[in-house]
């Protein structure tokens, strides 16, 4: 990739947008256009052969997937390392990279951030999300003095992170508590599938709030963790 384009990308964090065979959507207030399908880092880490995993990521990008999903703990960091290797040779500039972390305190969150940046081989992460907000005290810990939200703000200030979000899949009540802090979240990742409506529904209880506040919703477990298929 042209060195001038790469340098500009590092300064602005903007991807080099190429024509995509996949439909795209604007991700909430970020204004970013991303593919409607993401490549899941957890599954990339399940591929035993490193070369095959790297080729999988690059093939996905070549076919139009621009949203890269990952997390600090996936396969003890191997998922991020594989994705980082795949994003060399100009591929980083073509994608929107999201990773997640478990830092409830500022100190832990910043440590996770530096490890993710190193593994992913990048100077910045497009979207950094608090992972698995499932316990009642998670929001209070994150917003307490010295909490993880301070790390998020510091990371944005220093240009290491562009957008902030959180994820979870247990109880919408915990999400409502997180949203009650009125932080300007960019994204929220949650279950969206045919079973969700029947118990503790994120689609019924959380999605309307996100749309009203222009927070980008990201669907996960869209196949209900294969439950529907395994019972068929």
- Catalytic positions are 74
Give the neighbor-by-neighbor strand order of the sheet with 96-101. 38-40, 67-69, 96-101, 125-130, 161-167, 187-191, 216-220
Alpha-carbon distance of 218 to 21, in angstroms, equals 20
CA distances from 201 to 165, 188, 194, 195 (A): 19, 14, 10, 9
Q: How many CB atoms lie within 10 A of CB 160?
A: 18
Q: Which residue, among 77, 79, 75, has the nearest Cα to 40 in the 3D structure? A: 79
Cβ proximity of 68 and 83 under 8 Å: yes
């Amino acid at each position: 990739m042209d060195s001038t384009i790469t340098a500009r990308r590092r300064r602005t964090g903007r991807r080099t947008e190429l024509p995509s065979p996949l439909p795209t959507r604007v991700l909430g207030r970020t204004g970013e256009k991303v593919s409607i399908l993401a490549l899941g880092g957890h599954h990339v880490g399940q591929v035993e052969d490193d070369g095959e995993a790297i080729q999988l990521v690059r093939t996905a990008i070549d076919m139009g997937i621009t949203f890269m999903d990952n997390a600090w703990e996936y396969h003890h960091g191997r998922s991020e390392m594989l994705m980082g290797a795949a994003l060399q040779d100009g591929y980083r500039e073509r994608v929107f990279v999201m990773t997640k972390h478990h830092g409830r305190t500022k100190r832990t969150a910043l440590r996770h951030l530096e490890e993710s940046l190193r593994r992913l081989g990048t100077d910045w992460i497009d979207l950094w999300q608090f992972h698995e907000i499932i316990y009642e005290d998670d929001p209070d810990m994150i917003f307490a003095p010295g909490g993880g939200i301070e790390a998020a703000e510091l990371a944005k200030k220093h240009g290491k992170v562009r957008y902030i979000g959180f994820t979870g899949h247990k109880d919408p009540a915990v999400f409502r508590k997180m949203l009650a802090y009125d932080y300007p979240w960019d994204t929220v990742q949650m279950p969206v599938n045919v079973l969700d409506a029947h118990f503790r529904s994120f689609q019924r209880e959380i999605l309307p709030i996100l749309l009203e506040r222009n927070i980008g919703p990201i669907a996960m477990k869209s196949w209900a963790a294969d439950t529907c298929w395994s019972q068929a």
